[in-house]
Every structure is written in C-alpha cells, then in structure tokens.
Structure 1
Amino acid sequence: MIEPFLEELENRLDPQTEEALEAEWNRFLDRRFDGGIFRPRRRAAAPARLEWPSILINHALRDPELLLLRELRSVSDTLAAGSGNLLNIRCNYGTSILPSLFGVEPFYLDDDCDTLPTSMPLADGRDGIRRLVDAGVPPLDRGLAPKVFDTAAFFRARLEPYPKLREYVRLYHPDLQGTADVAEVVWGSGIFMEFYDDPALIRAFFELITAAYREFMDRWEREFPPLSDRFRCHWGWGHCGKIVLRDDSAMNLSPDMYAEFVLPFDRALLERYGGGVVHFCGRGDHYIDLLAGVPELTGIQLSQPECNDMEKIYRHTVDRGIPLFGLPLEAAEQALACGRPLHGLVHCC
C-alpha cells in the first residue's frame, strides 16, 4: 500500500532545494540572519502527483504503516506548499508516552475528533505516587514504549531503500513532554495542592520522571541517532541541541515554585542532551527570566503570545541571543511595527 507514496515522494524531492533550505536554517541558527522575521521558503513547490489518503489518527495508532503514511502526508503537503519547514516525521503516539511507563490508562477520543489520545491519572493519588517512587525507574517494556521503539525501527526500515527520503526526512524524537507535564498527567490536577502539602514527594516524583526520561532518551539516541551531524529538527523547524521539552504545566506555578520544582530538572535534561528548546502553551512570562538563565537553552517556542507580556518575553529571549521558534506572524509583525528590534532571532511559519 505504501510503496507508491514512498516512490512518489522520492521522485518529488529535489536535493538542491533541500540543501538551499537547510543553508537558510543554518544561517538562522548560527545567528547570521539579518532580516526582520525569519520566514524561509523552498525555491519551488513540488505538487503531489498522487492523491494522498486521509487517515484517522485512531486507525493510524493501530497500524505502523498507516501511521507512517499519515506522517508522510505532512511531508507531501510541505513540498506541495513550497513551505520553509524542514521535512520530518515522528512516532506520533501523543503526550502519554512517558506517563504510560507509570501505569496510566490511555483515553481515546471518538474518530470524529481525529486527535491524539490522552490518559487518565492514577486513581489512588498520593498513595499511588509513593508506590511509583518506591518502585524506582520503570523498565522500557511497559506502556507505549515498546510500540514507539518498534515503530521507529519500522519507519527507518521503510525509508532505507529511498536515498533522498533517508537523507532529508528526519525522524525526530517522540513527545516525552517535560517533567512537570508528565507529573500532572500521572498524578492529576490534585498535584497542585501537593506542592504545598507534600513538597518532598513532589521532588522525589520529579526526580523519578527525570530518570525515566533519561532512560528513554538515552535508548532513543543509541538506536535512532540522526543520520548526519546536521542540526536537529522538531515540528518542521531546525534547532540546536537534542531535545524539545514541554513546560505547559509550569504556567500554573509561581516563579518561586518554578525555580524550586521545575527549573532544576529542565536544566539537568538540557545539560545532558547538549541543549535544546523549551515549549510552553499559555503563559510563561512569569518564569522566562529564570529559564533564560540556563546556558544550554537554545530556543523558546510559545504558542499563545496573547497570554504573555511579549516585551518581557523579548527581553529574555532575543535580547539575550535566544531565538523564538514558530511565533505567530501577527505578533512578530506587531513588534516590528512598534519599533521593537527582533535581532534576526524570530522564526515565523
């Protein structure tokens, strides 16, 4: 089923176009872009020659070939649009990959939603968390982990016979979230009272999650290292360092709590993997100054500028040499219209 689509993509891919686009990304990542807003584009679009199928995510999650076909359709759409996004795919099993190691139950939405599953927190709250901490780092033969690694091997094997796909379609690391996000998914919303009621257990659980992240990511790096020493890729944009962390849950914490409970674990992971980017939905301006002080931070990706004091965000990112990725174009244009310098460090799709 999938071979005609692999061959079609292989024939549409133009190495010169991809190399030119990567050169643009290199300029941006090396701080050599001197324009206002970084919005790369391919030199030419490459329209699809086949009609690509629409595959519901629930169906794709049950069949790695369907999942690969769904991921490759996004590659096809990128080429057809002449977009400036880099070509990438991932084992797209959602946000519960790392939480699944701790025994949470997945929750699949109806096909009509066509969105990734979530999971239900442990039913026994604090007692369940204590048992997890006492048990230590869970093995990687639990939950979604075996499926993720098997699917990655399947993806690599399927692309292997196609030299251009193998070279230019990056397999990027799965969504492991961040320490606080995983903790909230496993513990549930009751976790936020525990920052006051049982901070020692919070720290112990965060340490456990960070250790599990390291076990997972270390294996990922061993088994699926990048096929070249070029920069890494995530969500279609290039970045320095090996990881992208999610700090969505941190928006619910005060700066002092963020500094005590989240930042040390973010820093430890960024240090271990040679740097990386931190993403957050919602508000992050209340802790951006703390996060920006981590030397290994190589970028910020925020999805909702309207929830943030963007002047404060700019002061602690682009003014300090830290790029912003995927910023909505309207926000960047508004900054420039107000005379706000972006230092060539803001990427918009």
Structure 2
Amino acid sequence: MEKPLNELDNILEYIETNIETRHICYAEQQLAKALNYQRPDIMPLKIQYPITDFQPFTFEEIHEDIGKMMYNELIGILNSIILKDYGLPMIRANYGVGTLASLFGVESKIVDNNMPWVCHVNSIEKVKAIIKKGSPKLDCGFGQKLIDTQRFYIEKLSHYPKCSQAIKVYHPDLQGPLDTAHMIVGSDIYIELYQNPGIIKDLLELVTETYIRLMRELKKNSTDENDEYFYHWQTLYKGKILLRDDTAVNISKEMYEEFSRPYNDAICEAFGSGAVHYCGKHVPWIESMLSIPNCTGLNIIPLPNQQYGEEFLQEIMTFLRPQKLYLAFYHMDEDEIFNLNMDKFNTGFSLVTKADSEEEAKRIMDKYNVFMLRAVRLNS
C-alpha cells in the first residue's frame, strides 16, 4: 500500500498542482520594472488574507521540527499562488528576531504561541563579558539550525520541479546591528547609549562582524539572489540583504549617525548593497539612512492606529525618487488604493493590502486589474 502523504507533502503537492510559473515570471518582471523606475504594466499589488484550508503548527512545534516550519512557511505563500497577485513565492528559516543574538548566548523562549521572546542579559557587566569573549562560532545558538533548515528546504523542494523552480529560500531575519544589540542588552540600551557609549560601540562592532560572517555562510545555502536583485518578504529588492533598523526609530538623527548608520553601512558595503526595513512612520534620520552609499531601498511596516495613505506615500517618495530608491510593499487599505492618483504614483514602489477572506481578496484583485487597465488606457 502506498504511504499516505504527510502535511508537508500534502501542501507541496497542492502548490505543485496550482502554481503558475509563467505568472510568477510576469510578476517578477513587473516588480523589476517598478524598482528600476520604469512604468510597469500593472503596479504590483499583494493581498494578504487568512488561509483556512491548511492549518499552521504552533510556534513550539515549528521550532522543534524543520518540516513543520517549512509547512508553515509554505502556508504563507498560498495567498499569491491562489490569487495570482504580485507576491513572489519564497520561504525562510524563521527562528525569530533573536536569531543573531543567540550566537552570543542570548536565549529565546516561546510564550502563548507567539514568536520567540528574547531573554535580554539586562546587565552591562554581562555585555562586557560577551565582548571579551569575542567572535562566536557560527554553529552555536541558532546558527547550525539555520543552515540545516535551509538545506532541508532546498532538498525537499527538489522533489517538486515547479516548486523548486519558483520557490526561493531567502535569508533569515538577522535583524541589524543596533536591533541585535537591543536584543542582547534589553530596553536599557537607550540609557547605555548615553552612559556607556564605548561599550555599546564595541558590542556593535562585534555584532556587525558576526552578522557578516553568518550571512555569508547562510548565502551558501540559499537561493535568494538573481543578478542585481534579491528575494525577500515575497518581493524583489536590489542588492543582497535586508537590514532591520526598528530600534533606531526611537533615537535622534545624531544618535542614529553615531550608533546605527556606520554599522549598517559596513554590512551594505560587505555585501555590495542592500535595503533597510523599519516599523513606524516619521523618523528624523530618513535622509541620513537613504544617503548610505550602498542603500537601494526601503520597506516600512505601519504601526496600528496611524494614518499612512497617499499623503505619507507622497512624503516618503519625495526622499526616494531623486535617488531612484525603491519602496517595497507600501501598505494601503482598499479605498486608499482605488483613490490613488496613478498619474502621480506609477512606479518606484509596490503595494500590499489586506482582506478578510479569500472571496474578498479575489474581489479586490479583480477590481484592481480593471482599475489598472483603465489607468494604462488613460495614459497611453
């Protein structure tokens, strides 16, 4: 008797049957046009909605079983496979924001089925001990697990030809130097920036060097690069890596230029170029960040209860357009998208929105295709 498929094989069989590689190639072409400031045939839009046919494993389960982690990651790409929107299929080893910090002995724990919570050292003396110990081995903490997970993904995909061709394995979340220092030190880092700046800079140097070493190793077991582009969060960016800089949203431009920018700059230079992500809205250091010589673009995830819309898009594109820097997956709600001035905003960014169900997502996608067709006709 033939052995029944497990959950992972079931979802891979489903994707192998339903994925349209031709559409994915087309979506990638439109994303490439947008990030190169050429006018795409359709402004790339991704629609997020809850998947009900495949139920995810808990965070505890996926951290113990890389097959279950892969299964959960594959659930995350079903939106775009079903809708045929402009999100690209990709998966990663996902061990949380404390991934890089784990190499320095900082533990993470899972509480109430949420992403791992990092257990900060909460002591400047312990930070000194980490610095004194020096560069960690890459196989400690989550290090070896990251590599093993990526290798497992690539091997498993190889049994499904269309999946192997279309689904990328992209680099894990190593945060950025200041974010990782924050994970190690805890919220007192904002005090230590003033009270012990030299120690924090020593920590940032160590984290930066370790980031570069680990990322280079991870890149050997990923499929997230394509000439001048790399794949991340279901879209394209120019360069090689996506840095996180969430901790910096709470500091001044002067502090950013002292404690964040030099280390981000060093990483971008080490890999040729890269983009930056932060959660929030207005930051005092946006121009300084975008002037990093090897910065290629930006991703902003909105905070709850803040208005973004066309007004903030105009504001942020004022900084990005002169340097032809890309804004990846700008969040807008349905009404904001269909009221967007497509004469004014027709390249240099991509869009993402949310729907409550697959039915609603399909309605929005159909409406958007008609909306974009009219916009193209009016401008042809």
TM-score relative to the length of structure 1: 0.88
Shift of the 40–313 alpha-carbon distance from structure 1 to 2, 3 Å rule, reads closer
Shift of the 343–332 alpha-carbon distance from structure 1 to 2, 3 Å rule, reads farther
CA offset at residue 330 of structure 1? 4.7
Aligned to 1:12: 18
Shift of the 343–293 alpha-carbon distance from structure 1 to 2, 3 Å rule, reads farther
Structure 2 distance, partners of 1:293, 1:228, is 24
Aligned to 1:30: 36
Which of 156, 160, 163 is the equivalent residue of 1:162? 160
Q: Is the 8 A contact 2:228 2:238 kept in 1?
A: no
- Judge which range, 270-279 or 76-85, deviates more: 76-85
Higher relative contact order (CA 8 A, sep 6+): 2
Is it true that 1:318 corresponds to 2:317 in the alignment?
no
**Aligned positions of 1:162-181 closer than 5 A:** 162-181=160-179
Shift of the 265–336 alpha-carbon distance from structure 1 to 2, 3 Å rule, reads farther
The letter for the 2-side match of 1:101 is: L
Aligned to 2:110: 108
Aligned to 1:45: none
Is it true that 1:64 corresponds to 2:66 in the alignment?
yes
CA deviation profile, 1:110-168 (whole Å, cap 9, x unmatched): 13xxx211211014x11111111111111112111111111111111101122211111
CA offset at residue 98 of structure 1? 0.3
Q: Is the 8 A contact 2:241 2:273 kept in 1?
A: yes
CA deviation profile, 1:182-225 (whole Å, cap 9, x unmatched): 00110011111111111111111100000110111010122335
Q: Report the aligned-residue RMSD.
A: 2.7
CA offset at residue 41 of structure 1? 6.9
TM-score relative to the length of structure 2: 0.82
Is it true that 1:348 corresponds to 2:325 in the alignment?
no
Shift of the 323–229 alpha-carbon distance from structure 1 to 2, 3 Å rule, reads closer
CA deviation profile, 1:284-307 (whole Å, cap 9, x unmatched): 530001011112111111112748
Aligned to 2:55: 53
Task: Report the number of matched residues.
Answer: 338
The letter for the 1-side match of 2:44 is: R
- Judge which range, 96-105 or 50-59, deviates more: 50-59
CA deviation profile, 1:267-294 (whole Å, cap 9, x unmatched): 1111111211111112453000101111
Is it true that 1:244 corresponds to 2:242 in the alignment?
yes
Which of 91, 94, 102 is the equivalent residue of 1:92? 94
Which of 131, 134, 156 is the equivalent residue of 2:132? 134
Secondary structure of 2:298's counterpart equals strand
Structure 2 distance, partners of 1:331, 1:318, is 24
Structure 2 distance, partners of 1:285, 1:319, is 19
CA deviation profile, 1:12-60 (whole Å, cap 9, x unmatched): 122222221121122112221268x823479xxxxx9x94233222211
Shift of the 291–69 alpha-carbon distance from structure 1 to 2, 3 Å rule, reads same
Structure 2 distance, partners of 1:247, 1:135, is 25
Secondary structure of 1:223's counterpart equals coil
CA offset at residue 334 of structure 1? 8.5
Q: Is the 8 A contact 1:319 1:342 kept in 2?
A: no
Is it true that 1:82 corresponds to 2:101 in the alignment?
no
Q: Structure 1: which 5+ runs fail to align?
A: 43-47
Q: Is the 8 A contact 2:208 2:263 kept in 1?
A: yes
Secondary structure of 1:61's counterpart equals helix
Shift of the 343–6 alpha-carbon distance from structure 1 to 2, 3 Å rule, reads closer
Runs of 4+ in 1 over 3 A off after TM superposition: 225-230, 305-312, 330-343
Q: Is the 8 A contact 1:58 1:116 kept in 2?
A: no
Q: Structure 2: which 5+ runs fail to align?
A: 1-5, 353-380
Q: Is the 8 A contact 1:130 1:201 kept in 2?
A: yes
Secondary structure of 2:236's counterpart equals strand
The letter for the 1-side match of 2:43 is: F
The letter for the 2-side match of 1:64 is: I
Structure 1 distance, partners of 2:228, 2:156, is 22
Aligned to 2:119: 120
Aligned to 2:182: 184
Structure 1 distance, partners of 2:105, 2:93, is 20
The letter for the 1-side match of 2:27 is: L
CA offset at residue 331 of structure 1? 11
- Judge which range, 19-28 or 257-266, deviates more: 19-28
Shift of the 320–228 alpha-carbon distance from structure 1 to 2, 3 Å rule, reads closer
The letter for the 2-side match of 1:325 is: A
Aligned to 1:327: 330
Structure 2 distance, partners of 1:298, 1:227, is 15
CA deviation profile, 1:295-334 (whole Å, cap 9, x unmatched): 2111111112748893553321234311211212259948
Secondary structure of 1:205's counterpart equals helix
